Amino acid sequence: MSRRLLQLVIPVTPERRMFRIHDPSVDPDAPGGPLPPIGALISANREQLWVGSLQEDIGVRLVLEEWDEAPPPCGEAWDEEAKSTIYLRGQLSISMGLAGTAVRGLRLAGGVSDYSVRVYAGNRDQVTRRYAQLFDRHRNPLSDEFQQEKKTLEGLERYLIQLWRESLASAVKQVAYCEPREQRGWCTEPTTYYRTRP
């Protein structure tokens, strides 16, 4: 049974409608990063995972979890889901671009490894729609009324990111094999074996 090793709940301010998860040794602003996740929930390469948001002026809520193995799926409680793999050297950081760093060098129990990642998102369209409605109701976005209603949208767009160290063993396979017995052919029951990755 899978076990959660870590849970972190933090506010995140997206920059250019995204925030970036990466190995701390990687500069997310250096050339060679993933393409911006335009029209997609995530974009990834070997050491970076960029998560697309629909917000630029409103903070979102992020729950980050590390598990000892694949957790039970929970997609029914969310609007969108994506999966990927990222290589981490035992730590991760979350960059918000010009808004700063939400997490720097968070230590992972899984150590240096490839990590499987599930990303869930909720309320993205709802927040975008409600924010647009604010401009219809209030002509001045600097007014107290506008700012008070805008605060109610903070953290409403939410994300759950679950990661776990990939197993060293490949999936278990069952094989039925035949061998002679008393000069006659016979088949044994399926036998389970493990094969490790090269």
Token readout for 135 is 């401009």
pLDDT single digits (tens) 69-80 = 999 999 889 999
Cα angle for residues 45, 4, 65 (degrees, 5° grid)? 40
In what helix (H) or strand (E) does residue 129 lie, and over which residues does it extend? helix 124-137
- Of 71, 82, 65, 75, the closest CA to residue 8 belongs to 65
Summary mean pLDDT of the chain: 85
**Helices marked H in the chain — which ranges?**
124-137, 144-151
3-state secondary structure 134-172: HHHHCCCCCCHHHHHHHHCCCCCCEEEEEEEECCCECCC
d(CA 126, CA 133): 11
**168 alpha-carbon distance from chain centroid:** 21
61 versus 168: which is more confidently predicted?
61
Residue for token pair 């029914």: 76
| pLDDT average, residue stretch 57-70 | 96
pLDDT in tens, 92-143: 999 999 899 999 999 999 999 999 999 999 999 999 999 999 999 998 999 9
Side chain identity at 162, as an amino acid letter?
Answer: Q
CB atoms within 10 A of CB 127: 21
State the Rg of the chain over Cα.
23
Q: Note the CATH number of domain 4-168.
A: 2.60.34.30
Strand, coil or helix: 97: helix
Q: Is residue 15 within 8 Å of residue 96, measured between CB atoms?
A: yes
Q: Tokens for 82?
A: 């994506």
Q: Would you call 66 helix, strand, or coil by DSSP?
A: strand
What are the boundaries of each domain within the chain?
Answer: 4-168
Contact between 72 and 2 under an 8 Å Cβ cutoff? The reply is yes
pLDDT value of position 186: 33
Total-model pTM:
0.81
